[in-house]
Amino acid sequence: MISILFALLISGPAHAEVVEKTLAVVNSEIVLESDLKLLQKRISKPGMVDDALLMDKSIDSLKNDRKAQLDYLINEKIIESEIKRLNLSVTNDRVESEFKDMAKRNNVSEAELENILKGQGISASEYKVFLKEKIEKQSLMDTEIISKLRISDDDALNEYLKNNPNSRPSIDEFSVAHIFFSPKKGGSEAAYKRAEVVLGKLRNGESFEVLAEQFSEDPNFSSGGALGTFKSGEFLPEIESAISNLKVGETTGIIKSRLGYHIAKLTGKKLTTDPKFEKAKERIKAQLLEVSFKRQLKFWLQNKRDESFVRINE
């Protein structure tokens, strides 16, 4: 009886466990077929794929490229290993706090944010998993890459000059005074004659500042005839051209402009950074930092791959 029962047991139907296909092994981590399918779902949802790991590929190019998808997952596993090694994992409390902050930044409640995500096909729990990974990755990138990047003002200036070859790295800044003669007072010829008289007095050694006080017809006259400080290109071109080769303290002859006649004095001159560059500098540095980060991330990941055990089963 026992032998018959034993025979029935060993001849009964076998219920084999279904083993999922392992696509790759990365150190002690495995990449399964189900991981690939999850990634394919993430690709179709906005913001659920880390652009930095695309390595200059577009998300669209990732959609139908199984090899690129597997490569992306391997990079993720390498990063996960480094996060564990450096003890950079974050708690659920930190994730919840970040989720709340995200709602505040977008001026919505947490429930409203969950509904927005739901409308994009993303559950709150799914997004929080992604958010946890994102915070950990950012911490890793800060530690391993970003903290080591250096973009100087000179780097930004070189990039600016490369894209603006006609620009100069520095420009002249002038401090100017003038004695003005208005054609509105008796016409252009009379204004010119008045200018000639004052120019003669100036060449005979009289003080420019005193003559300006006595004879300037500038309706906005300032003490000594001071006009202010101007960078190259910001001032009346006729006056700038006349003073550009003067030494500080020297004066011009009679200058004709669209406003009338001037005798100008250069009271100060120095080199200063091009204001157009100053305005663009921080934007250029941010662009260079992004380019440098992508390049260093690619290099860092390749180094980590070389140090890791990676076996691909496809």
pLDDT tens track for 70-98 = 999 999 999 999 999 999 999 999 999 99
Greatest alpha-carbon span in the chain: 140
Amino acid at 214: Q
Report the pLDDT value the prediction gives residue 37, as an integer from 0 to 100. Answer: 93
- Helix ranges (H only) for the chain are 2-11, 33-43, 59-63, 66-85, 92-105, 110-119, 124-144, 153-163, 188-203, 208-215, 237-243, 275-307
Other CB atoms within a 10 A radius of the CB of residue 297 amount to: 19
Cα 253 to its chain centre, rounded Å, is 48
Q: Which domains does the chain have, with CATH numbers?
A: 22-149+288-312 (1.10.4030.10), 170-273 (3.10.50.40)
Dig out the tokens for 19 from the structure: 């083993």
What's the whole-model pTM score?
A: 0.62
Amino acid at 104: K
Dig out the tokens for 25 from the structure: 């092994």
Other CB atoms within a 10 A radius of the CB of residue 279 amount to: 9
Report the C-alpha gap between 248 and 269 in whole angstroms.
7
Report the pLDDT value the prediction gives residue 19, as an integer from 0 to 100. Answer: 66
pLDDT tens track for 3-55 = 433 333 334 444 445 568 999 999 888 999 999 999 999 888 888 888 888 87
Report the pLDDT value the prediction gives residue 167, as an integer from 0 to 100. Answer: 79
Report the pLDDT value the prediction gives residue 25, as an integer from 0 to 100. Answer: 93
Report the pLDDT value the prediction gives residue 170, as an integer from 0 to 100. Answer: 73
Report the pLDDT value the prediction gives residue 293, as an integer from 0 to 100. Answer: 93
* Burial degree of 261 (CB within 10 A; 0-12, 13-18, 19+): buried
Q: Rg for the chain (alpha carbons), in Å?
A: 37
* Burial degree of 144 (CB within 10 A; 0-12, 13-18, 19+): middle
Q: Tokens 């950012």, residue?
A: 138
Report the pLDDT value the prediction gives residue 223, as an integer from 0 to 100. Answer: 84
205's torsion region: left (phi>0), alpha (psi -120 to 50) or beta? left
User: Sheet of 226-231: strands edge to edge?
Assistant: 226-231, 170-181, 261-273, 251-256
Pairing of strands 22-26, 310-312: antiparallel
Count of residues in the chain: 314
Report the pLDDT value the prediction gives residue 1, as an integer from 0 to 100. Answer: 42
Report the C-alpha gap between 155 and 291 in whole angstroms.
13
- pLDDT beneath 50: ranges in the chain: 1-16
Report the pLDDT value the prediction gives residue 10, as an integer from 0 to 100. Answer: 38
Report the C-alpha gap between 46 and 41 in whole angstroms.
11
Report the pLDDT value the prediction gives residue 9, as an integer from 0 to 100. Answer: 37
